[in-house]
A and B are shown apart, each in its own frame.
Chain A
């Protein structure tokens, strides 16, 4: 049962149906070709026989003309005297008395066009008494003498028979090979599609790590597998990100919330008459709530950028405007901290994007650079236009402590902060947002060593304009 079912399923597959259709066309073509071969071969042999008979007739005619009836009788006798001859002769008087020849009587068969007749030799005790057919032509000589010259067709019949048999075999083998080949082809394609089905089933069952195997040939199925895998990578990354976020949100928000709660509870327990104490507690509570809200807002911005729903709302954005505005906003902040912010706009590229999110990304990068660069440092905000593999690039470089190479992937994750003590302000969402914004714009985020310091580049793809 188990072996039958897959076969039955195979018969219902599209590749097999296509193979079957192809086979049908192929078999019809082969049939037509074989028919033509048969007709032309058999026809050619029949013509050959006709020509031989005509030659013999011509010879006998010569004989009759030169030696009269007597000579003709001798000649026919002589010729039909050979044993194992394929030729058939019969010469009779007007009354039907046999004068010479190797047939026992005049065939009944009526002559066709041109005097040709076909008959069975065995019925007339012909040559070698073979049960084969013959083909003959008959003439009426002067004086109502009748002459029949023909040829045993058994060899041709045999050949025809053999040809039919072998053509039948050729036909059968064609069908079998075609069917087998079709099944094999269908099975090959089915195996790969089945592999895709198995993987998707496994993934639906919850195992997101499964990937579709690739043949490496680069055909449609391979490309389909490649696309599926890319889609799965994306889904897995989003799922992992979501799990991480849920965990991080739970963890990172619990601490400030418990702090908040404890502070309010303590204020209630103390029961003081001093309204200043309550005022201070409430003010701290609002500050803490604002920080929590800011974290939520940042998470929402990331979600907004990541959902891709914004993709339809993308419109041409002049990056130079975005960069100038951010530089304008942050220059005094950098100066306040004793840093130099250098803005270098080398081109005026336009990309399709969401201006607010891009502005937020650049702001976050500047914010980070200002936060982590020590006094006296130098921050460069650079905008470049078209270059190899890019339509535009925004770079923020500082000469602060930088990020160790092995940590650069890690800092893009939500709530991850290198400052283990969490002494510096912030929620660890800044770079995550930048990455989400970059991805929304199909841009890549590059974290590089500025030797010393960190260099973050948002590189827009060549077709981002």
Chain B
């Protein structure tokens, strides 16, 4: 993937660039808002990582201008401003996701991957399938290998989120944000319990597991290789 990082802190920028390159992405970096706007306008990127507080032009107005000019490259805000108000502002300005500093690199990678995937699969779907697991959004039923599986509404929502992002790593925070709309971290790792229950129903009676734990990051639902 081609990633544009707009970040004024040199150390943070090179750390980001290094990590993204190691993960196999192509990275361009801009040190201020003006340069960022120029690069974003002159080249095509799969995703942009934008700091909120930038010299020259702040991240919010930069994204607003991009959106106004019809640029719909997914944007992830990366900011030290982390209150609910700040997040809302970022998303309203046209950001697609918001991550607060300090952050875990695995979290950032998981999020940009999901952002790009979501953009490419924007057309409405009524049916999701991964390997022999099928999820019908209209009848709200789940079948694996032709066998019907009963899920509680929240388990259904969790599975739907995992299936929409099949193949990508989904972090606990992403699940809390997207399935429960919780924009804070509960003290206990409640997500693990929910995933354990989902595993019981989806994977237990089948030879190949589909839900995988990604150490230090979260979970991933993917077809066996």
Contacts and interface: CB of A to CB of B under 8 A. Distances in A.
A426 B190 CA distance: 14
B205 interface: no
B185 A332 contact: no
Contacts of B185: 294, 297
Contacts of B182: 325, 329, 356, 359-360, 363
B181 A325 contact: yes
B85 interface: yes
B216 A286 contact: yes
B188 A354 contact: no
B84 A356 contact: yes
B180 A329 contact: yes
Interface string B60-101: 000000000000000000000011110000000000000000
A3 B154 CA distance: 79
A425 B188 CA distance: 9
A336 interface: yes
Nearest to B183: A356
Contacts of B196: 332, 336
Interface string A342-360: 0000000000001011011
Given A283-B216, A286-B216, A333 B82 contact: no
A340 to B, nearest CB: 15
Contact of B193 (A283, A290, A325, A336): A336
Contact of A430 (B84, B187, B197): B187
A364 interface: yes
Interface string A312-334: 01000000000001001110110
Interface string B166-187: 0000000000000011111111
A288 interface: no
Chain B at the A interface: mostly helix, strand, loop or mixed? loop
Nearest to A300: B82
A301 interface: yes
Given A354-B84, A367-B187, A430-B187, A325 B102 contact: no
A398 B82 CA distance: 33
Q: Which of B85, B181, B190 is the most central at the interface, judged by chain A CB atoms within 10 Å of its CB? A: B190
Interface of chain A: mostly helix, strand, loop or mixed: helix
Contact of B187 (A304, A332, A336, A426): A426
Nearest to A371: B188
B183 A313 contact: no
A310 interface: yes
Contacts of A300: 82-83
A336 B190 CA distance: 10
A218 B144 CA distance: 75
B21 interface: no
Interface residues of A, number: 31
Given A328-B154, A332-B193, A367 B216 contact: no
Nearest to B189: A333
B98 to A, nearest CB: 13
Contacts of A286: 104, 216
Please tell me the size bucket of the interface on B. 20 to 34
A329 B102 CA distance: 26
A186 B93 CA distance: 59
A325 B154 CA distance: 9
A128 B162 CA distance: 131
B84 A367 contact: no
A122 B187 CA distance: 115
A313 B85 contact: yes
A112 B24 CA distance: 128
B84, B154, B188: which has the most chain A beta carbons within 10 Å? B188
Contacts of A370: 188
B194 interface: yes
A330 B190 contact: yes
Interface in A405-426: 425-426
Contacts of A359: 182, 184
A293 interface: yes
A290 B105 CA distance: 13
B73 to A, nearest CB: 28
Contacts of A430: 187
Contacts of A356: 84, 182-184
Contacts of B216: 283, 286
A333 B184 contact: no
A359 B181 CA distance: 10
- Most chain A beta-carbon neighbours within 10 Å: one of B84, B104, B186, B187: B187
B30 to A, nearest CB: 28
Contacts of B194: 329, 332
Given A283-B216, A293-B102, A336-B193, A329 B186 contact: yes
B82 A310 contact: no
Contacts of B188: 333, 367, 370-371
A297 B197 CA distance: 28
B190 A360 contact: no
Nearest to A336: B193
A37 B35 CA distance: 94
A333 B154 contact: no
Interface of A: 283, 286, 290, 293-294, 297, 300-301, 304, 310, 313, 325, 328-330, 332-333, 336, 354, 356-357, 359-360, 363-364, 367, 370-371, 425-426, 430
23 contacts: A286-B216, A290-B104, A293-B102, A297-B185, A301-B184, A313-B85, A325-B182, A328-B180, A329-B180, A332-B194, A332-B196, A333-B193, A336-B193, A356-B84, A356-B182, A356-B183, A360-B186, A363-B182, A364-B187, A367-B186, A370-B188, A371-B188, A426-B187
Ranked nearest first, the 10 interchain pairs of A and B with the lowest CB-CB distance are A332-B193, A363-B186, A333-B193, A360-B184, A367-B187, A356-B84, A328-B154, A333-B190, A336-B193, A304-B83
Given A304-B83, A329-B180, A336-B193, 16 more contacts: A290-B104, A297-B82, A297-B185, A300-B83, A301-B184, A325-B181, A325-B182, A329-B190, A333-B190, A354-B84, A360-B182, A364-B186, A367-B186, A367-B187, A367-B188, A426-B187
